[in-house]
């Protein structure tokens, strides 16, 4: 974790992910996509995450979580993702979603922006196609509805197998999508970490 924190801080010091730091208003979806690309280019893997970890569904059979320096610092100060009660302003968390063939299928992101939407912890939610085309942006009810399950963690899930959602929850949000057999196996192996 020290190595990741050091890398993230170095990236921040170089100014690579500070373009949004002075922003008082909501960035455009394109500006946020540019910040996401900086994290991707710098392989800014979020603490406790790893490259190609098990994803929940066959459409995201593998995932990788990225984080900017503000988010990394929040995680480090709290002693882990499950201990963060509030992320710092301008924290950016990104999930890269990959299919069974490990080809990128989509990117989702959460940007903490003070005074944006206090009822939903001030998170700007975003979803993109692999090429940066915007799928959804802003106050996305379906994203918030799921993320409220970890309200005590400021709406941020820890990567598997640290936290898992039951199949019934995934099916409620994505009724037509198939579950990843590797994720279902994790649910059976780790029932103690299933979010209720």
Residue 60 covered by a domain = yes
Q: In angstroms, what CA-CA distances link 53 with 90, 141, 154, 177, 191?
A: 25, 26, 22, 19, 18
* CATH number reported for the structural domain that contains residue 128 in this entry: 3.50.70
CB of 191 closer than 8 Å to CB of 163: no
pLDDT of residue 54: 97
Residue 182 covered by a domain = no
pLDDT of residue 23: 53
pLDDT of residue 21: 53
Tally of domains in the chain: 1
Per-residue pLDDT of the chain (196 residues; tens, 9 = 90+): 333 344 334 334 333 344 555 556 899 999 999 999 999 999 999 999 999 999 999 989 999 999 999 999 999 999 999 999 999 999 999 999 999 999 999 999 999 999 898 888 899 999 999 999 999 999 888 888 888 889 999 999 999 999 999 999 989 988 999 999 999 999 999 999 999 8
Residue 178 covered by a domain = no
pLDDT of residue 60: 94
Residue 46 covered by a domain = yes
pLDDT of residue 36: 98
Residue 177 covered by a domain = no
pLDDT of residue 6: 40
Residue 131 covered by a domain = yes
Residue 17 covered by a domain = yes
pLDDT of residue 47: 96
Q: Alpha-carbon distance 139 to 51, whole Å?
A: 28
Residue 190 covered by a domain = no
Structural domain range at position 36: 2-157
């Amino acid at each position: 974790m020290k190595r990741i924190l050091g890398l993230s801080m170095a990236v921040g010091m170089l100014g690579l992910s500070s373009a949004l730091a002075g922003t008082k208003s909501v960035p455009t979806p394109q500006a946020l996509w540019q910040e996401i690309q900086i994290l991707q280019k710098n392989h800014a893997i979020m603490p406790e995450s790893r490259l190609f970890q098990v994803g929940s569904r066959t459409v995201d059979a593998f995932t990788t979580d990225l984080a900017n320096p503000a988010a990394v610092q929040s995680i480090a100060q709290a002693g882990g993702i499950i201990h963060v009660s509030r992320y710092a302003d301008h924290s950016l968390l990104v999930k890269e979603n990959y299919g069974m063939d490990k080809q990128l299928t989509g990117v989702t992101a959460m940007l903490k922006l003070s005074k944006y939407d206090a009822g939903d912890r001030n998170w700007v939610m975003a979803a993109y196609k692999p090429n940066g085309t915007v799928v959804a942006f802003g106050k996305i009810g379906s994203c918030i509805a799921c993320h409220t399950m970890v309200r005590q963690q400021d709406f941020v899930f820890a990567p598997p197998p640290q936290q898992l959602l039951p199949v019934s929850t995934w099916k409620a949000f994505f009724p037509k999508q198939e579950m990843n057999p590797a994720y279902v196996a994790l649910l059976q192996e780790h029932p103690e970490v299933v979010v209720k």
